[in-house]
Amino acid sequence: MMLLEMAAGGFADRVAVGPRDGGLTFAELFAGAGAVADRLRSGDAEHLVLADVSSEALPALLFGASWAGVPFVPLNYRLPDEELRTLASRVSPALAVTEPGTSGRLDGIAGIETVDRGVLPKALPETRPVEHDWRFDGDDVAVLLFTSGTTGTPKAAILRQRHLVAYILGSVEFGAAGEEEAALMSVPPYHVAGIAAILSNVYAGRRVLQLPTFEPGAWIDLVRTERVTNAMVVPTMLARIVEHLDAEGPDPTGLPSLRSLSYGGGRMPQPVIERALELLPDTRFVNAYGLTETSSTVALLGPDEHRDAIRSDDPAVRRRLSSAGRPLPGVEVSIRDESGAETPVGEPGDIWVRGEQVSGEYRDQGSKLTGDGWFPTNDGGWLDDDGYLFVTGRIDDVIVKGGQNISPGEIEGVLLRHPAVADVAAIGLLDHEWGERIVVAVVAITGAETSTEELCALVRRELRSNRMPDHVEFVDELPYNDTGKLLRRVLREQLAHLGDA
Amino acid sequence: MAELTPGSRWASQVCTTEVIVVRAPGGGIDLECGGSPMATPGEGDPNGSPDPASADGSQLGKRYVNDDDTLEILCTKPGDGSLGVGGTLLGLKEAKPLPASD
């Protein structure tokens, strides 16, 4: 709330949310947050739930909850009704804001009062002075985010005020954006990057535009018509944007207004980022690595590092294009083996992080931080000589074949460099002799030729023979969730017949 | 002497400056603005103007730190007075700009 109050004080009449003409100003957003806070204080809700797409109401809801000292809980509105209702009941009593016409989805849950987004008051009544009657307590829970649950029951990650404020103060310069700047947000509000986008851009003084349902054509149109300068996408979105730009033909208009494009939230296929760099020569690319539990970004690969990497003849520098860059100034990264000892530079292990923005705490499960503040991300990775972080994937996804731990990311990274491979996933399936066998699902580029033998030979040449796939399955597409995470569990089910019974 | 807790807010008594404490060492510290002690917003007795020796002003959104970096405050409302502790002015914290990542 402090962040919004400063922005409202610094650039009251600037447009904060929505189109350049007719959007909400920072002063209006402040008044809208006050109205949300009043509404929360007049009832006994202990959480503010959102079961809605990204809308112009979202920033006022996020800040209004903070103003009233009530945690904000954005839910995945795409979940089936039953799962959505289970999550809402976990945070009862709550006020739940729903997409117009859908409040029935949350009707009849004890302690849940629903309100249609369309009938929310837009601002404080004229009679109420806009005064800061909020208090700042760093230990207050600001946001509860349910993890996507790709591996089981969703956990509720807790982000306290102090984590988010540390992240914003550590990574954003107040008022750094020019009045003409606009950021396009296309990740949903229940993704940590969606929350971080609102906080970062408000604090920078940058107008936020929202695309509630991603579609590459609509995204490109918005960038052009609203002269968007900054945007964040997940890798699957960038792949579709690149495809769309390519299809525009030999005389493309490009995206001249787009100064900065950041991506994260999953692994980026090398051909996609390389093509994006070619298609958008004036755009500065940023790769961000972060987790819900770390208040978004903890490491990033900056624009100059992208261009340096792609221009370099040195394989060690060129390889950095697939790295997550280096830790933010307030964040430390440590790679550790299973015993918890730090591994030598270049050796893979588990990624641990530490910093004031790192929460690592879950509702009902407590904190996963060690006594001295380190958080095990559950991602595997390694650091190169200059401290660049390479993320190889979730530790839970590791394939165990004949007692050897094999990271799928390592095999996928090699295969993604093959010119005929559009996308790939390596998984372990049951094998009576070896425990697990390595099965690789490959999406081939249309019209390109390759074979199982060729791909296996590539892995054998680049890695070790024990990394060689036992089976290559050519598929039409891989299963992803709507925020671009590969659903390995679903893929394992789809390909279960390739393992032993 | 007041105990400064992170998150506590302080208002200048001689100008419009307001700050919030980001980080503070234990023990009593008297924050000053324009050469005069700061107070909890709404509880002080604002009057007068900044001492000319402490009148370079405070800037909205800037962070101010003491010499050993144990105290950090964020300016939430700007004013004409300079921020200090025990007669010594606080320094402006220089942050290396980072590219926007979200």
Mean predicted confidence (pLDDT) in A478-498: 89
Q: Roughly how many angstroms between the first and final C-alpha of chain A, as a whole number?
A: 55
| pLDDT bucket at A435, cuts 50 / 70 / 90 | confident
Q: What percent of chain A has pLDDT over 90?
A: 78
Stretch A310-331: mean pLDDT: 94
Given a cut of 80, whether residue A17 has pLDDT beyond it is: yes
Instruction: Look at residue B28 and tell me if it is in a domain.
Output: yes
Query: Would you say residue A480 lies in a domain?
Result: yes
Identify all chain A residues contacting B7, using CB atoms and an 8 Å cutoff. Answer: 135-138, 161-162
pLDDT tens-digit series, residues A179-218: 999 999 999 999 999 999 999 999 999 999 999 999 999 9
Sorted by sequence, the CB contacts under 8 Å of residue A393 that are 6+ apart come out as: A267, A379, A380, A407, A408, A409, A412
- Cross-chain Cβ contact B99/A262 below 8 Å: yes
Q: Is residue B14 part of a domain?
A: yes
In angstroms, the separation between the Cα of residue B52 and the nearest Cα of chain A is 25
Q: How far apart are CA A352 and CA A369, in angstroms?
A: 10
Structural domain boundaries, residue B62: 2-92
Q: A479 is in which domain, residue-wise?
A: 398-501
Q: What angle do CA A85, A87, A89 make, to 5 degrees?
A: 70
Residue A412 sits in a domain whose CATH number is 3.30.300.30
A51 close to A102: Cβ distance less than 8 angstroms: yes
Q: Are A176 and B76 an interchain contact pair (Cβ–Cβ within 8 Å)?
A: no
pLDDT-derived band of residue A312, with 50, 70 and 90 as boundaries?
very high
| Residue at B66 is within a domain | yes
Number of domains chain A contains: 1
- Amino acid letter at A191? H
Position A107 in a domain: no
CA separation for the pair A354, A155 (Å, rounded)? 21
Collapsed DSSP state (helix, strand, coil) of residue A199: helix
Number of domain units in chain B: 1
- Which strands sit side by side in the sheet containing A260-263, from one edge to the other? A24-25, A15-17, A207-210, A182-185, A230-233, A260-263, A284-291, A296-301, A326-327
Interface predicted TM-score (ipTM)? 0.92
CB A211 within 8 A of CB A222: yes
Residues of B in contact with A136 (CB under 8 A): 7, 9, 20
Residue A128 clears pLDDT 60, i.e. is over it: yes
Q: Is residue B16 part of a domain?
A: yes
Residue A402 domain flag: yes
Position B6 pLDDT exceeds 90: no
Pairing mode, if any, of strands A435-444 and A421-431?
Answer: antiparallel
Q: Place A446 in a pLDDT band, splitting at 50, 70 and 90.
A: confident
Q: Does residue A316 sit within a domain?
A: no
CB-based contact A210:A231 (threshold 8 Å):
no
In a domain, B101, yes or no: no
Cα distance between the two ends of chain B: 41
Angle of helix A161-171 relative to helix A192-204, nearest 10 degrees, comes to 50
| A423 within some domain | yes
Q: What are the distances in angstroms from CA B29 to CA A48, A142, B43, B54?
A: 37, 29, 18, 18
Q: Considering the domain boundaries, does residue B100 fall inside one?
A: no
Q: Which residue, among A173, A181, A285, A306, would best test binding to B if mutated, counting the most B CBs under 10 Å from its CB?
A: A173
Contacts of A174 in chain B (CB under 8 A): 60-62
Identify whether A211 is part of a domain. Answer: no
pLDDT digits (tens, 9 = 90+) for A257-293: 999 999 998 778 788 899 999 999 999 999 999 999 9
